[in-house]
Amino acid sequence: MDTILVRGGNTLKGQIPITGAKNACLALMPATLLSEEPLTLTNAPRLSDIRTMTQLLGSLGAEVTSLQDGKVLAMASHGPINTRAEYDIVRKMRASNLVLGPLLAREGHAEVSLPGGCAIGARPMDIHVTGLTKMGAEIELRDGYLHAKAQGGKLKGAVIDFPFASVGATENILMAATLAKGTTVINNAAREPEIVDLADCLRAMGAQIDGDGTSTITIQGVDSLHGATHRVVTDRIELGTYMLAPAIAGGEVELLGGRIDLLEAFCERLDAAGISVSETPNGLSVSRRNGRISAVDVTTAPFPGFPTDLQAQMMALLCTAEGTSVLEEKIFENRFMHAPELIRMGAVIDVHGGHATVTGVNKLKGAPVMATDLRASVSLILAGLAASGETKVSRVYHLDRGYEHVVAKLSGVGADIERVQE
């Protein structure tokens, strides 16, 4: 099993290219099921989750060809479509449920396994189900699969009020509504850049969509969609992660393709901590303003708030801040599992429910640590950049789901980091 070794103490300088967004690409790929004509995605990230979605789409009858070393995905769904998404593939990745809406819209029926075989109420698939039911779908859970069928063989437009702004449910309903009969209105829709990116792609395919990026999205159904070529939006989570590298280790790094508008709330917290973020012709430049950073409080929230997917990395930064910081996690429960590993490195962290109090220390110390999830794994690598001695991060297979060539990107700006097999 691979591990990553980080020897702290090096300041960073240079450029890091930011890839296309994993979460955007995973929503864009199922859109190929909505048309018999080709859909091509450029600026695609090369990640294990993308390979899993490729496998899933292939099992449904779609053709997905990886071009230009994986940076371009050429897709087509012109043949017969299989409407059953098997558990053996779906269980690997939560985003697999995004085939439900497109399959229902195109074929009028679908059987999609629940991720991990969980009950609807245990994870927010109930929001997806409620929305599609309002559009005329009959859905029941049998043997771990959602069996869905559109009344009369075609979905119908409806007004759908989400109890909270679910990104996945917004994406599923948005895709389903493009081919529904009549008008669909999504109230309390998610506003994330990945939603806007999906809407841009669907419009390029001929969909009629208004209001994406706001809390109310209106979709006028059309008879069919055509092919298109679409560039995947910049990955704002990868961007924020690498923005924290020079903030933690010192130095100055330019993030190629970076945009402040993707991370305004995050950039505001960096500014309060004493981190300079400036626009360049090619992206963003990040450096400390002077000396030790200042403690800041952070509360995660749906976009345009502070992203939950950057909470673990921000905690790593605040472990050596001057003063005490409070991080409040309001999106996911159990998302402080990285805290005990940071404590092994000398951090002072007290977790109570959805709050974590971080008292900054002068220096972290390298230690053997274990990644518990995707974002936790990279937070430990960031912490290792500022620690004395060697940090050994195990279970780094989590990284491959969301970070492309993390060792090469960090070593390219001066970090002492390597991936080894044991």
Q: Would you say 23 is a known binding-site residue?
A: yes
The 10s digit of each residue's pLDDT in 194-215 is 999 999 999 999 999 999 999 9
CATH topology of domain 2-19+234-421: UDP-n-acetylglucosamine1-carboxyvinyl-transferase; Chain (3.65.10)
Find the helix or strand (DSSP H, E) in which 134 lies. Answer: helix 125-134
Identify the pLDDT of residue 124.
Answer: 60
Domain ranges of the chain: 2-19+234-421, 22-231
From residue 108, give the alpha-carbon distance in Å to each of 83, 206, 276: 9, 20, 52
Strand arrangement of the beta sheet that strand 72-76 belongs to = 63-67, 72-76, 39-42, 228-231
Other C-beta atoms lying within 10 Å of the C-beta of residue 233:
24
Identify the pLDDT of residue 418.
Answer: 97
**Active site amino acids:** 118
Q: Would you say 13 is a known binding-site residue?
A: no
pLDDT at 172 over 60: yes
Percent of the chain with pLDDT over 70: 98
Taking residues 406-416, report their average pLDDT.
98
Would you list the DSSP string of 351-368? Answer: EETTEEEEE--S-EE--E
Q: By three-state DSSP, how is residue 322 classified?
A: strand
Identify the pLDDT of residue 130.
Answer: 96
Q: Whole-model pTM?
A: 0.93
The 10s digit of each residue's pLDDT in 137-162 is 999 999 989 999 999 999 999 999 99
The 10s digit of each residue's pLDDT in 328-355 is 999 877 789 899 999 999 999 999 989 9
Task: Report the chain's mean pLDDT, rounded to a whole number.
Answer: 94
Q: Would you say 173 is a known binding-site residue?
A: no
- Domains 2-19+234-421 and 22-231 in one fold: yes
Q: Are 382 and 313 in contact (CB under 8 A)?
A: yes
Identify the pLDDT of residue 376.
Answer: 86
Taking residues 73-77, report their average pLDDT.
97
The 10s digit of each residue's pLDDT in 89-142 is 998 888 899 999 999 999 999 999 987 533 333 456 899 999 999 999 999 999
Q: Would you say 237 is a known binding-site residue?
A: no
From residue 65, give the alpha-carbon distance in Å to each of 97, 323, 336, 377: 21, 51, 38, 30
pLDDT band at residue 372, thresholds of 50, 70 and 90? confident
The 10s digit of each residue's pLDDT in 220-252 is 999 999 999 999 999 999 999 999 999 999 999
Percent of the chain with pLDDT over 90: 88
Q: Would you say 331 is a known binding-site residue?
A: yes
CATH architecture of the domain formed by 22-231 = Alpha-beta prism (3.65)
